[in-house]
Amino acid sequence: MTSYQPNDIEKKWQKVWAETEAYTTPDYVEGRANKMVLVEFPYPSGNLHIGHWYAFALPDMYARYWRMKGFNVLYPMGFDAFGLPAENAALQRDIHPGEWTKQNIAYMTNQLHSMGAMFDFSRAVSTIDPEYYRWTQWMFLRMYEKGLAYRAKTTVNWCPKDQTVLANEQVVDGHCERCGTTVQQRSLEQWMMKTTAYADRLISGLEGLDWPNTARTAQEHWIGKSEGAIITFPLSGIPGQEDGKHSVDVFTTRPDTLFGATFLVVSPELAQKWIDVGWQASDAVRAYITESRSKRELERLEGAKEKTGVALGIFATHPLSGESIPVWVADYVLGNYGTGAIMAVPAHDERDRAFALAFDLPISDAPLRDAQEVIDQLIAKSAGHVKTTFKLRDWVLSRQRYWGVPIPIVHCATCGYVPVSDDQLPVELPPLRDFKPADDGRSPLAKATEWLSVPCPKCGAGAQRETDTMDTFVDSSWYYLRYTDPHNTQEFASKEKMAQWLPVPIYLGGSDHNTMHLLYSRFFAKVLYDLGYIAFEEPFLKRVNRGWVLGPDGQKMSKSRGNVIDPDKEVAQYGADTVRMYLAFMAPYEQGGPWDSRGIVGVHRLLSRIWTLFSQEPAGEASPDVERALHEATRNVSRDVELLSLNTCVSEFMKFMNVVDGAKTTLTVAQREHFARLLAPFAPHLAEEVWHGACGHSESVHQESWPAFDASLLDSQLITIPVQVNGKVRATIEVAPDASEEALKALALAADGVVRALDGLAVQKIIVVPKRMVSIVAR
């Protein structure tokens, strides 16, 4: 008997699976329904960390289970390979980001093989492949044609360290999501996508989805739909202007509070616009506007404690009462939300109250009105209307960095922005030695002089290519479509192939993508659907957010804390099957938890016991206890794996092994075959080895079907319950756990001890507590 040596076994089978293309998934298999199990494709950072194992090896159990259940399961993999981190890493190491990224992809692909997962590498996609990004550019052009991709001057988040623009979604608490540097505000011309055009549908579409509540509400809040009204206030007291000639619109969600409005506040941005068209503002106002520019949006919104502002010396006329109220400028009102101006109601709004108290402005206790009534009056006076606004902003997608998809646009002095024609795609990223970003907002691609000049696609005159590249979130917004048809050179994917796999039935990933990747992908799907290229509006029907694997100290793993678990080391010590099963056992999948070095030893011991069991001579006759335990484990594992309750699946294996040990027996030939198949999704290498060795098969266990359980065997497992007569236990009865009340009564009355105790008495009442007891009252 040899001891369990996972490393020999695992390498052997990984090689066999690769050589026999065991996991190459056909588009269609007679009699099997297709099922794609999607996990977020990784960024080629250089090394697989334990989080990758958690993210991929556990869903692999789920994918393998469904494959054995008779589905044609696609478990695809790819690389999200453009982006800042690769570029920064390449700058540090003084090599080209392309070289760096490709090395990492090769290395990580090898590491992925060591996981023993059923990835179909024949369908692998990489976003830096020109044959992939040809279609990223093609989609951009379709959006450009519809006005959904456009260029405009806008206030953007600028990361001074990465020297590029960031989307709102990439700014976390005022810091760059990637490098942590405090983000600045700059006004720049940028390429944008009109996500706001889909704001309503991005909310309503969430309804039918099987998503965690946290992900759904994160999106709802991010989109931030508010229903309210626009109210117009005529202005007076503007020097050199007739009173009532100009007016200001405010957005309010509370028109019912209109009679409590005691002043108006405009944002510094709106005040600046007035100055731009000739208003002679005071020096104090001008100074205040300049000062507020250095503040970030979040700071301004949160600065509840310390309210700042300046009176404009202008007055507004209340549209219904006719009263005159002062107008102020203050930075707690944002320039890019609603109309950029508010009516302040200190009696009902906290921020307005704080402002009124700080500047000694009146607070009115005028009663609330029926809103609808207010709106009717406003409409009658042409002084207002209902309005829905959203917090969502258009997606700023241009990046002033090298390592991204070139935006397929040409700037012509005569024709303006001209799209590159489809037959000229892809616009390939030129090789560039010096790809360092510059602080002037010019993209490094401006240095690719040869690449830069092209004839204008429209008039043929000398013109220049767009030098911004795309945010990598564009690349990842559609990658799952490509998995269905990865080698297509005519379309991003054929409709027939997409129809075979999509929409994605289950998508597993991280909660960090709740408002970024998941929102962008949904936007892309809706646009492609409207343009007739895909047949569904919602790409991901079910979403599961995994938990985090924490360090042994319960903290997030980080090099500085020294609590990082290196999966390669763990695999070298215990084997991939142990690492997989330990990660499954460690915590509920959606919860995550700390790595426990003793815990992995326990799981390794379990697999060693299983190994030993298979190396013993098979039993001639089945122990009824073991047989029942095997079917019970099968029932429970089948149920739990479908719920992604993988930790309880591993406990089922532990329970089963305890029964086997307790029965002091081994498995029969039939039981071995059953057990090997049950184990296959969890410990794919060990199961394959014993399937070939101990069970003597020559085909793969992963081609087998999932073992069925015998329910009758489970039902015959009887439970013992007591029978009382007038409060005293007189007998016990053996019954099936789901025995009916009638059956329980009959059995109880027939029991020996009960018959004796009832002698001479009349039964008044029988109380049945299912599975617990029967109580008889007699006199």
Residue 265 or 610: which CB sits closer to ligand ANZ? 265
Residue 9 or 248: which CB sits closer to ligand ANZ? 248
Q: Which residues contact 368 (CB under 8 A, 6 or more apart)?
A: 256, 257, 259, 260, 348
Q: Residue 402: name the closest of 382, 421, 422, 428 by CA.
A: 428
Residue 252 or 469: which CB sits closer to ligand ANZ? 252
Residue 86 or 454: which CB sits closer to Zn ion? 454
Beta-bridge mates of residue 768: 774
* Shortest distance, position 272 Cβ to ligand ANZ, whole Å: 14
Residue 412 or 657: which CB sits closer to Zn ion? 412
Q: Residue 348 binds which one of Zn ion, ligand ANZ, none, with CB within 5 to 8 A depending on kind? A: ligand ANZ
The mark string for 6-45 relative to ligand ANZ (x by CB under 6 A, - otherwise) is: ----------------------------------------
What does residue 463 show for φ and ψ, rounded to 5 degrees?
-145, 175
How many angstroms separate the first and last alpha carbons of the chain? Answer: 68
| Structure-token pair, residue 535 | 């047949």
Q: ∠ at Cα 248 (245, 252), nearest 5°?
A: 150
Would you say 307 and 358 are in contact if contact means Cβ atoms under 8 Å apart? yes
Amino acid in the structure at residue 29: V
Q: Residue 226 binds which one of ligand ANZ, Zn ion, none, with CB within 5 to 8 A depending on kind? A: ligand ANZ
Handedness of CA 174, 180, 184, 186 (dihedral sign): negative
Q: Residue 458 binds which one of Zn ion, ligand ANZ, none, with CB within 5 to 8 A depending on kind? A: Zn ion
Cα(563)–Cα(554) distance, integer angstroms = 9
Q: Residue 216 binds which one of ligand ANZ, Zn ion, none, with CB within 5 to 8 A depending on kind? A: none
- 3-state SS assignment for residue 459: coil
Tell how far CA 463 is from the center of its chain: 41
Residue 331 or 475: which CB sits closer to ligand ANZ? 331
Residue 454 or 679: which CB sits closer to Zn ion? 454
Stretch (H or E) spanning 120 = none
Residue 464 or 615: which CB sits closer to Zn ion? 464
Residue 62 or 337: which CB sits closer to ligand ANZ? 337
Site for ligand ANZ, residues 240 to 269, rule: CB under 6 A: 251-254, 257, 267
* Shortest distance, position 327 Cβ to ligand ANZ, whole Å: 14
Residue 335 or 684: which CB sits closer to ligand ANZ? 335
Would you say 230 and 342 are in contact if contact means Cβ atoms under 8 Å apart? no
**Where does this chain touch ligand ANZ (CB under 6 A) — which range of 151-159, 331-339, 711-719, 770-778?**
331-339
Site for Zn ion, residues 362 to 421, rule: CB under 5 A: 412, 414-415
Residue 267 or 545: which CB sits closer to ligand ANZ? 267
Binding residues for ligand ANZ, how many (CB under 6 A)? 17
Site for Zn ion, residues 272 to 291, rule: CB under 5 A: none
Beta-bridge mates of residue 778: 763
- Does 345 sit near ligand ANZ (CB under 6 A)? yes
Site for ligand ANZ, residues 195 to 234, rule: CB under 6 A: 226
The mark string for 520-559 relative to Zn ion (x by CB under 5 A, - otherwise) is: ----------------------------------------
CA–CA distances in Å: residue 564 to residues 357, 551, 552, 576: 52, 6, 8, 18
Cα(724)–Cα(732) distance, integer angstroms = 9
* Shortest distance, position 72 Cβ to Zn ion, whole Å: 50
CA–CA distances in Å: residue 40 to residues 279, 407, 652: 53, 24, 29
Cα(752)–Cα(423) distance, integer angstroms = 91
User: Applying CB under 6 A, which of residues 41, 71, 135, 337 lies at the interface with ligand ANZ?
Assistant: 337
What's the Rg (C-alpha) of the chain?
34
* Shortest distance, position 312 Cβ to ligand ANZ, whole Å: 16
- 3-state SS assignment for residue 231: strand
Q: Residue 657: name the closest of 666, 647, 648 by CA.
A: 666
- Does 54 sit near ligand ANZ (CB under 6 A)? no
- Does 363 sit near ligand ANZ (CB under 6 A)? no
- Does 338 sit near ligand ANZ (CB under 6 A)? yes
* Shortest distance, position 408 Cβ to Zn ion, whole Å: 15
* Shortest distance, position 189 Cβ to ligand ANZ, whole Å: 23
Q: Residue 459 binds which one of Zn ion, ligand ANZ, none, with CB within 5 to 8 A depending on kind? A: Zn ion
DSSP of 547-564: -EEEPTTSSPP-TTTT--
* Shortest distance, position 234 Cβ to ligand ANZ, whole Å: 18
**Phi/psi zone of residue 347: left (φ > 0), alpha (ψ -120 to 50 degrees), beta?**
alpha
| Structure-token pair, residue 17 | 């699976």
* Shortest distance, position 213 Cβ to ligand ANZ, whole Å: 21
Q: Residue 412 binds which one of Zn ion, ligand ANZ, none, with CB within 5 to 8 A depending on kind? A: Zn ion
Would you say 542 and 211 are in contact if contact means Cβ atoms under 8 Å apart? yes
* Shortest distance, position 340 Cβ to ligand ANZ, whole Å: 5
- Does 343 sit near ligand ANZ (CB under 6 A)? yes
Stretch (H or E) spanning 734 = strand 728-735
**Where does this chain touch ligand ANZ (CB under 6 A) — which range of 316-324, 344-352, 653-661, 672-680?**
344-352
Beta-bridge mates of residue 753: none
- Does 340 sit near ligand ANZ (CB under 6 A)? yes
**Where does this chain touch ligand ANZ (CB under 6 A) — which range of 272-280, 306-314, 342-350, 741-749?**
342-350
Would you say 417 and 426 are in contact if contact means Cβ atoms under 8 Å apart? no
Site for Zn ion, residues 411 to 470, rule: CB under 5 A: 412, 414-415, 456, 458-459
DSSP of 560-606: TTT----HHHHHHHH-HHHHHHHHHHHS-TTTEEE--HHHHHHHHHH
Exposure string (b/e) for 185-214, b if CB count within 10 Å is 16 or more? eeeeebbbbbbbbbbebbbebbeebebbee
- Does 349 sit near ligand ANZ (CB under 6 A)? yes
- Does 527 sit near ligand ANZ (CB under 6 A)? no
Q: Residue 74: name the closest of 644, 502, 678, 579 by CA.
A: 502
* Shortest distance, position 394 Cβ to ligand ANZ, whole Å: 17
* Shortest distance, position 215 Cβ to ligand ANZ, whole Å: 21
CB count within 10 Å of CB 435 equals 22
* Shortest distance, position 349 Cβ to Zn ion, whole Å: 52
**Where does this chain touch ligand ANZ (CB under 6 A) — which range of 110-118, 126-134, 199-207, 329-337?**
329-337
Residue 7 or 253: which CB sits closer to ligand ANZ? 253
Q: Please count the residues of the chain.
A: 779
Residue 198 or 355: which CB sits closer to ligand ANZ? 355
* Shortest distance, position 311 Cβ to ligand ANZ, whole Å: 18
Place of tokens 């002091």: 664
| Structure-token pair, residue 69 | 């259940």
Q: Residue 634 binds which one of ligand ANZ, Zn ion, none, with CB within 5 to 8 A depending on kind? A: none
- Does 331 sit near ligand ANZ (CB under 6 A)? no
* Shortest distance, position 381 Cβ to ligand ANZ, whole Å: 19
Cα(429)–Cα(448) distance, integer angstroms = 10
Tell how far CA 185 is from the center of its chain: 28
Residue 223 or 343: which CB sits closer to ligand ANZ? 343
Stretch (H or E) spanning 7 = helix 6-19
Would you say 25 and 74 are in contact if contact means Cβ atoms under 8 Å apart? yes
Residues within the interface to Zn ion (CB under 5 A): 412, 414-415, 456, 458-459
Residues within the interface to ligand ANZ (CB under 6 A): 226, 251-254, 257, 267, 333-334, 337-338, 340, 342-343, 345, 348-349
